[in-house]
């Protein structure tokens, strides 16, 4: 990591710990309107213009390990599947036969030299090209070259594959910007998939996303866990363009090490800074990852309906070599899930509150500015004019967004932050 940027984060942490109030010039933030969490029309706009037009993490390379390996994926509400082609490229397609719409993949995952619709037998190769169908003689001038499966934009950062339903979307790395740079720090092309689980929660997805944007809640619900070693008052927050951000929280005791990673292999060459502080990366709209040398959990928040959601927890780490997963991983995952349960305990109750007349809006403080940044970005993507006036979140933080120069520095010149 750039030494100048590391020092800037440390300086900000020191400032945050000692400040007596928000920095000079920080604006008073309007309340976040509660209707944004419950209004059906707003929810529809959010799905169509943000979720269906954003790059989102989907699968790890290990989930399609061999040529012909495939896995279904439906987190965006669309029937998709990934498959590794004979050229070793991972592609994503709509799970929709070009004949009459039946699925071409019916198992959750598997391996095949191609995929065949079980309805009428149309067959596609691993590149999605239509290669065979029954009774071709009965189709008049059917151009098979135009009847391949509909492909979805799919790009990767190392072994992590992202998708975007918008065929006109900018390239993944351009979209992620500094978030992609930070992922590169842990060499994602070397990380294996250690574990993956999904948890259903009865609340709007934004309610739980909000909780992972701030450390203001640590002393209330994490008293016996995270608050024992993290100093929330020293949290350094950086807002980036396009809704991305980071939150870097110092340990209460200098030199503290996470006992849960003792003995686990680490990514070679990772800056020690990532081991000596809690570095939480956020890629808009739903990707949260505490970056660490011994592997990273990635939390993805998915809307299922207007009042239900799923949180996925993925674990990526350097390989431990041959043999079963070390037992220490079981403890590490369990400890993390226990902390996550603390975060989830009020989600369904908050959902009931935002549905009631007792909640009009959320007043946010300086520590919670990442939440405001997220909502303001959502309005930009929907189109501010299309958001009902009483539900708008005007951009108040433009002057507080940090611009990052991602141009590679020349070998003879020091990098600039």
**Tens digit of pLDDT for each residue in 101-135?**
999 999 999 999 999 999 999 999 999 999 999 88
pLDDT of residue 376: 98
In the predicted structure, residue 415 carries a pLDDT above the cut 50: no
Q: Which long-range contacts (CB under 8 A, 24 or more apart) does 404-409 make?
A: 404/177, 404/178, 404/181, 404/240, 406/177, 406/178, 406/181
Q: State residue 410's pLDDT score.
A: 52
- Tens of pLDDT, residue by residue over 182-206, are 999 999 999 999 999 999 999 999 9
Which range (158-167, 281-290, 319-328) has the least confidence? 319-328
Provide the b/e sequence for 148-182 (b: ≥16 CB within 10 Å). Answer: bbeebbbbbbbbbbbbbbeeebeebbebbbbbbbb
Q: What is the pLDDT of residue 108?
A: 96
Compute the average pLDDT of residues 283-311: 96
Mean pLDDT of 331-346: 90
Give yes or no for residue 69 having a pLDDT over 80. Answer: yes
Q: What is the mean pLDDT of residues 247-254?
A: 90
Q: Name the pLDDT band for 230 (thresholds 50, 70, 90).
A: confident
Average pLDDT of span 289-309:
95
| Confidence at 409, pLDDT banded by 50, 70, 90 | low
Residue 269 pLDDT > 80: yes
Given this model, what pLDDT does residue 417 score?
39
Instruction: Specify the range with the lowest mean pLDDT, choosing from 29-33, 38-42, 82-86, 333-337.
Output: 333-337
What is the pLDDT averaged over residues 249-266?
A: 85
The confidence score (pLDDT) of residue 257 equals 79
Report whether pLDDT(89) > 50: yes
Lowest mean pLDDT among 114-118, 256-260, 262-266, 274-278: 256-260
User: pLDDT per residue over 384-407, tens digit each?
Assistant: 999 999 999 999 999 999 998 887
The model carries a pTM of 0.94
For residue 185, the tally of other CB atoms under 10 A from its CB is 19
Judged against a pLDDT cut of 50, whether residue 412 lies above it is answered with: no
pLDDT at 408: 64
Q: Which domains does the chain have, with CATH numbers?
A: 3-54+177-402 (3.90.380.10), 57-156 (2.102.10.10)
């Amino acid at each position: 990591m750039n030494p100048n940027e590391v020092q800037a984060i440390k300086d900000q942490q020191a400032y945050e710990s000692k400040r007596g109030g928000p920095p000079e010039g920080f604006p008073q933030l309007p309340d976040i309107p509660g209707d944004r969490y419950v209004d059906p029309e707003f929810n529809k706009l959010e799905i169509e213009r943000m979720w269906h037009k954003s790059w989102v993490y989907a699968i790890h390379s290990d989930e399609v390990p061999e040529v012909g390996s495939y896995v279904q994926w439906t987190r965006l509400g669309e029937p998709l599947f990934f498959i590794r082609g004979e050229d070793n490229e991972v592609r994503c397609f709509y799970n929709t036969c070009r004949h009459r719409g039946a699925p071409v993949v019916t198992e959750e995952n598997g391996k095949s030299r191609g995929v065949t619709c079980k309805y009428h037998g149309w067959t596609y190769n691993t590149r999605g090209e239509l290669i065979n169908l029954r009774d071709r003689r009965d189709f008049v001038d059917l151009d098979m070259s135009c009847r391949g499966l509909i492909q979805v934009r799919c790009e990767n950062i190392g072994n992590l594959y992202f998708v975007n339903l918008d065929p006109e979307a900018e390239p993944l790395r351009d979209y992620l910007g500094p978030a992609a740079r930070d992922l590169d720090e842990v060499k994602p092309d070397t990380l294996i998939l250690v574990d993956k689980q999904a948890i259903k929660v009865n609340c709007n997805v934004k309610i739980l996303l909000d909780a992972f944007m701030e450390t203001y809640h640590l002393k209330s619900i994490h008293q016996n866990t995270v608050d024992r070693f993290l100093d929330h008052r020293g949290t350094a927050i950086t807002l980036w363009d396009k809704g991305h951000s980071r939150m870097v929280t110092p340990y209460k005791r200098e030199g503290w090490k996470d006992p849960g990673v003792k003995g686990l292999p680490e990514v070679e060459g990772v800056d020690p800074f990532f081991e000596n502080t809690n570095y939480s990366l956020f890629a808009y709209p739903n990707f949260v990852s505490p970056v660490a040398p011994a592997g990273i959990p990635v939390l993805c928040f998915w809307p299922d309906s207007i009042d239900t959601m799923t949180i996925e927890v993925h674990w990526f780490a350097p390989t431990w070599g041959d043999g079963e997963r070390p037992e220490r991983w079981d403890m590490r995952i369990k400890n993390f899930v226990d902390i996550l349960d603390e975060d989830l305990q009020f989600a369904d109750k908050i959902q009931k509150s935002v549905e009631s007349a007792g909640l009009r809006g959320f007043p946010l403080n300086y520590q919670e500015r990442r939440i405001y940044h997220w909502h303001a970005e959502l309005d930009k993507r929907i189109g501010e004019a299309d958001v009902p006036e009483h539900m708008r979140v005007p951009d108040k933080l433009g002057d507080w967004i940090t611009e990052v120069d991602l141009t590679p520095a020349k070998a003879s010149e020091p990098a600039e932050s």
